[in-house]
Amino acid sequence: MLKHVLDFGAVFLVGGAVCALAQLLIIKTKLTPARVLIIFMIAGMLLQVFGLYQHIYQFAKAGISVPIVGFGAALVKGSIEYTTQYGALGAIAGGLSATAFGVGLAVFASYLVALVFKSRTKY
């Protein structure tokens, strides 16, 4: 029981820190949310390239894998795995293959939401 509480605490702290950092970047700088997303995705890619992502993941689990940081790391991990098997073309196919399920699920969920709710402009 205590292990689960500690795991949930680590997920909450790291995930919250990632989200708080993103919010601070949006509020305190002139960066748009889209640019912050790209920065975080590239950060995840760099963490994976330098072998640091897995160490953070062992501690934080969903706290680091659910935000866009995890998507960037998954792109690089898939690209590295496929490159060793298939060569240069594997670098492209690997990233797409590693993230296909998550992207597909997001598209499907968006479609379901679009069926249920009627879109309209804010003004």
- pTM of the model as a whole: 0.84
pLDDT in tens, 62-111: 999 988 999 999 999 999 999 999 999 999 899 999 999 999 999 999 99
How much is the average pLDDT of 7-24?
94
How does residue 1 score in pLDDT terms, banded at 50, 70 and 90? Answer: confident
* Surface-to-core class of residue 73, CB atoms within 10 Å of its CB (0-12 exposed, 13-18 middle, 19+ buried): buried
Nearest to 84 by CA among 73, 93, 96: 93
Give the pLDDT score at 123: 67
Please, what's the largest Cα pairwise distance for the chain?
A: 53
Name the percent of the chain lying above pLDDT 90. 86
Question: Taking a C-beta distance cutoff of 8 angstroms, is the pair 90, 83 a contact?
Answer: yes
Distance CA 42, CA 67 (A): 12
Nearest CA to 69 out of 81, 53, 55 is that of: 53
